[in-house]
Amino acid sequence: MPKSKPRKKPDHTPPPPVDDIKRSARWWAPTMVTLMVLGLAWVVVTYLTDSRYPIPGIGAWNLAGGFGVMMAGFLMTMRWR
């Protein structure tokens, strides 16, 4: 029985050094977390005050403002490195 030829394995390429990886600015993570917490606090205040605060006069749109601030924080998580 003829012997089969061994397959040549591809050369291993090591991952890039840590210095070459792009990192986010130092202010990115604190800003991201602050926006999420601020939006959560906004929504909680809106529910506790029956939509009278944090901005009086706009009613249930306070929920949209709180969720909008939270969404900005969550969208920042996609660019965080």
Residue 44: inside a domain, yes or no?
Answer: yes
What pLDDT is stored for residue 6 in this prediction?
A: 77
Q: State pLDDT tens for residues 4-61.
A: 777 777 778 887 777 767 889 999 999 999 999 999 999 999 999 999 999 999 999 9
Q: Cα separation of 42 and 54, whole Å?
A: 7
Query: Residue 39 belongs to what domain range?
Result: 26-79
Residue 10: inside a domain, yes or no?
Answer: no
What pLDDT is stored for residue 1 in this prediction?
A: 73
Residue 15: inside a domain, yes or no?
Answer: no
What pLDDT is stored for residue 20 in this prediction?
A: 65
What pLDDT is stored for residue 76 in this prediction?
A: 96
Q: Cα separation of 73 and 35, whole Å?
A: 5
Domains contained in the chain, number: 1
Residue 73: inside a domain, yes or no?
Answer: yes
What pLDDT is stored for residue 13 in this prediction?
A: 83
Residue 8: inside a domain, yes or no?
Answer: no
What pLDDT is stored for residue 38 in this prediction?
A: 98
Of 21, 35, 18, 25, give the one whose Cα is nearest residue 80.
25
